[in-house]
Amino acid sequence: MKKIINNADEFVSESVEGLVLSYPGTYKFSNDTNKVLTRTNKALSKVGLVSGGGSGHLPLFTGYIGEGLLDSCAIGNVFASPSVEEISSAIKEANSGKGVLCIYGNYGGDVMNFDMASEMLEMEDIKVESIVVADDVASASIEEKEKRRGVTGMLYVFKIAGAMAETGADFDEVKRVAHKTNENIRTMGIALTPTILPQAGKPTFEIGDDEMEIGMGIHGEPGIRRGKLKSADEITQELSEKIFDDINLSSGDEISVLINSLGATPHEELFITANKFDKILKEKGIINKKSYVGRYATSMEMAGMSITVLKLDNELEKLLLDQANCPFWF
């Protein structure tokens, strides 16, 4: 294992402390724990937005705190859910009296702990509800969409719900657009190499130098197919077909696309993917209103990438393009 770390047991705490020190105008620690971050300049009266999840995915979760995005985030250990106490602290930090909406991925530990924290705080008269993101096409069929994992599409829910919350909209309106976004996102990914957890010191799975795995999850969950590595155009075509088979899009429809590196895959390779994806869209007559290309949701040093499509209407497009401010959103 080659990593630029000190002590594996301090990996999360030292990295989060460095994040706060690097961007003090955006992030600060909760008064209760160093496993919760919140906005440095809190909004005084708005629906609060909270997320949380395991470390190892930056900038996913913690990175997207800021104006027009999240208000606070609970931080778990690497690939591990934050605790009920940490989630409760994050919800309290985000609460300004107008309710708190929690947005997180569909993973068993996260769902259980967010549910428990929400129930506890409702007894303190804090209104708390959740949007459980489930955009990973590979992880379950459309008939069992509620079983799908939440991956990179979560960013779109953060952004659009965050934009609506900044307008001063009430709780039901913020939850409505978050749900609408969640229903209109699809993600498909590919892994080329494993990741190495600092405390384990060994790869999370094995894959041949000439192999790829279609549909692998961001924690190394099994995908839907493993085979010989193909060209960028062939990979993009396969991922795109899986997405378009799952979402109702017709010629003239508008989308946003997010092409994401899982960690080690460089921008140059992502832009090759973007080039092919644009050609596919033009063949279908689908209009891309906004592209995002880069590292948005990672899995440590895993090589691979994902494509996320958000089907837009006028409301979602406006909210997507509204101003947001954090170091990781461009």
Residues labelled as active-site residues: 57, 219
Among left, alpha and beta (phi > 0; psi -120 to 50; other), residue 155 is alpha
In order of 181, 234, 261, 265, 269, the CA distances from 295 in angstroms are 21, 22, 5, 9, 12
Q: How far is CA 189 from CA 2, 22, 139, 224, 237, in A?
A: 25, 31, 11, 10, 12
How far apart CA 12 and CA 69 sit, in angstroms, is 22
Task: End-to-end CA distance of the chain: give it in Å, rounded.
Answer: 32
How far apart are the C-alpha atoms of 108 and 269, rounded to whole Å?
Answer: 33
Element (H, E) at 137: none
Contacts of 27 (CB under 8 A, 6+ apart): 19, 20, 37, 38, 39, 40, 62, 65
- Give the C-alpha distances (Å, rounded to integers) separating 103 from 47, 160, 184: 13, 12, 15
- Taking the C-alpha atoms of residue 107 and residue 180, their distance in angstroms, rounded to an integer, is 20
Paired with 204 in beta bridges are none
